[in-house]
Every structure is written in structure tokens, then in C-alpha cells.
Amino acid sequence: MTRMLNALKKRLARCCAPLQGTRVSEKDALRYARLFKALGDETRIEIVSLLANAGKELCACEIEAHFDLSQPTISHHLKILREAGVITAERQGLWIYFKLNRPCSGDMADFMRLLK
Amino acid sequence: MTRMLNALKKRLARCCAPLQGTRVSEKDALRYARLFKALGDETRIEIVSLLANAGKELCACEIEAHFDLSQPTISHHLKILREAGVITAERQGLWIYFKLNRPCSGDMADFMRLLK
DNA sequence: CGATTATATTGACAATTTTCTATATATGTG
DNA sequence: CACATATATAGAAAATTGTCAATATAATCG
């Protein structure tokens, strides 16, 4: 068997056919990763579930009251959720109210559509 | 104004009405957090998008070929995705094929339903 | 069996994340 | 203005994560 045939055989033995098609853009990959990173923490999932269950906006102190964590720690988690677009914040006098930003589930739906 | 009235006023000035209803269970919070943590990395999002776009299973070497990362690093990411139930793996001879585990989007749908 | 190839695991290091204490900022009250 | 309260920020320590080089394991081939 010639060397050429060996090379051909090796190519046929490839594990996968070559791929075409495009991957998600780097920009979208970053966007999705940021959203999921924000949700990838047990405390933050519970904050989100608290807001979802309340069905209304809650001030930071109410949220804090449900956790065994310091005020700055909860403030930090709220900031991460806010920056990822999962929640929004609005000051009313002395309090700052947080609520779910429902459009964010649009991003998640986009991602699920990607999965087909 | 008596001290009692002051205390009452303070209670009326509460930022939020007390909450009833139940939060997500701790078990579910962990489950969601693990899923989202797995997806909260740009490389892993791109692996998932690669598999989604290919529309078929891919062996590890094919996946590796799309990244500028070492083989052990990709292997590590594949393991995390596998353990979170995002992908499944099946050995066929020398190669191990990875494919999307579509039921995982059921978990995500559950979470989105939580958000209402 | 020995050699080769594909993938996984180990162990180390660097980067990032979570958490805290201490302090700052913003708003409201007397 | 001084004081109280709600939230944010800074800075540091501890835990977790992403990465790599080296090595191990598993399957195949001769």
C-alpha cells in the first residue's frame, strides 16, 4: 500500500466529518455567559426566586432578612444581578427597591432557541 | 407620643409588607445554580453552540480543534458540562462523542416558568 | 505484547469570586 | 446642621475556578 493510500485511509478514519455553519458570535457568547454566570450562584438563585415568588419589588433590607449573609454581601449579589440585567433597582426615598427584569428571560429564551 | 406609638409608627414605615409564600427549595436552588454555573463560561457557551450548530454529536478532538486551549482544558470543560447534564458522552472505539442533552433545556424552562 | 492515538486525571499556579469588616454615600428627620 | 437609617464601596482573606504540563488510562493496530 503506498504512502498516499495510507494518508487517504487516515483521512477516512477521521472521527467526524468537517463542520460548516457558524458558531454563536463572540459577542453573544459573552452576553450569554454573563447572564448565566450571574445566575450560577445559589444565593443569587434564591434572591431571584424570592423576587419571583413575592410577585412584587422588594427593598434590599427585606431581601437581606432572608439570608444568613452580611448586608454588603447581599448588596454585592444584587449588583451582579443588576449588571447582568436580571433585576432592576429603583430608589424610593431611603429605600432601594429591586424587581425582576422579565425581559432577561428573553435572553434565556434566545439561548434555548439556539439549542433548538 | 408614647413609646408604643413610636414603635407602631416605625412598623408602619416598613419598606415592604411581610412576605408569605415559599421560596424555591434549597435542592432546586442548587440544581439551577449548577446548571447556570456550567453555562457561565464563555468557552463552555461556545462548546454548546458548536454542538447545537453541528446538529450532531462531535468527538472531543473536533471540539478541541475549534479552541486555542489545551486538550486537558477542553476535557475539563466537557466534564463540567456533562456533570451539569448539559451534554452527554458516549465512547465509540477510540473516540468519545459528545452531544447536547436536550432535556437540560427543560430545567431551564422550569426556571423561566419560575420567573413567570 | 509494544506502539500509537484519544481522552482523562493529577498537581500546580494564577485569576476570579465570595465573603467579611470597616467606611462612605445618600436620604430623611428633628 | 447633627443624627439616624438604608445601601454602596473599599480592601483583604479564603475558597473556587480556569489553565497548563506531565502523566495515566483506554482502545486499536501490527
Total number of residues shown for chain A: 116
Q: Chain A within 8 Å of B12 (Cβ-Cβ)?
A: no
Please state which architecture CATH assigns to domain A25-115: Orthogonal Bundle (1.10)
Residue with the larger pLDDT of the pair B115 and B41: B41
Alpha carbons A89 and B88: distance in angstroms, whole number: 39
Alpha carbons B32 and B110: distance in angstroms, whole number:
9
Positions of strand C less than 7 angstroms from a protein CB: 5-11, 17-22, 26-28
pLDDT tens-digit series, residues B38-60: 999 999 999 999 999 999 999 99
Under the banding of pLDDT at 50, 70 and 90, the label for residue B12 is: very low
For strand D, which residues in window 81-100 of chain A come within 7 Å by CB?
89, 94-96
B57 touches strand C (CB under 7 A): no
Neighbours of B27 (CB within 10 A): 8
* Through-space separation of residue A1 CA and nucleotide C17 C1' in angstroms: 58
Q: Is B65 on the interface with A (CB under 8 A)?
A: no
Interface touch B24/A108, C-beta < 8 Å: no
Please state whether strand C lies within 7 Å of residue A77 at its CB atom. yes
Scanning every residue of chain B, which has its alpha carbon at the shortest distance from the alpha carbon of A54?
B19
Specify the 3-state DSSP secondary structure of A109. helix
Any chain B CB within 8 A of the CB of A79? no
d(CA A6, CA B89): 30
Pick the residue from chain A with its C-alpha nearest to B87: A115
**Of B46, B35, B33, residue with least CA distance to B80:** B35
The answer to whether strand C lies under 7 Å from the CB of residue B95 is yes
Encode burial over A56-95: b for 16+ CB neighbours within 10 A, e otherwise.
ebbbbebbbeeeeeeeeebeebbebbeebbbbbbeeeeeb
Tell me what pLDDT residue A18 has: 73
DSSP A71: H
Flag whether residue A8 sits within 8 Å of chain B, measured between CB atoms: no
Question: Is it the case that residue B1 has pLDDT exceeding 60?
Answer: no
Phi first, then psi, for residue A58 (nearest 5°) are -130, 145
Question: How far apart are the C-alpha atoms of A78 and A100, rounded to whole Å?
Answer: 11
pLDDT at B71: 97
Name the class of domain B25-114.
mainly alpha
Count how many residues are written for chain B.
116
Which contacts of A22-27 are long-range, i.e. CB under 8 A and separated by 24 or more positions?
Answer: A22/B53, A23/B46, A23/B49, A23/B50, A23/B53, A23/B66, A24/A114, A24/B45, A24/B46, A24/B49, A24/B53, A26/B42
Residues B46, A23: C-beta atoms closer than 8 Å: yes
CA–C1' distance A95–C28 (Å)? Answer: 11
B52 interface with A at CB cutoff 8 Å:
yes
pLDDT by residue for chain A (116 residues), tens only, comes to 333 433 334 433 467 777 776 778 888 898 999 999 999 999 999 999 999 999 999 999 999 999 999 999 999 999 999 999 999 999 999 999 999 998 878 889 999 988 87
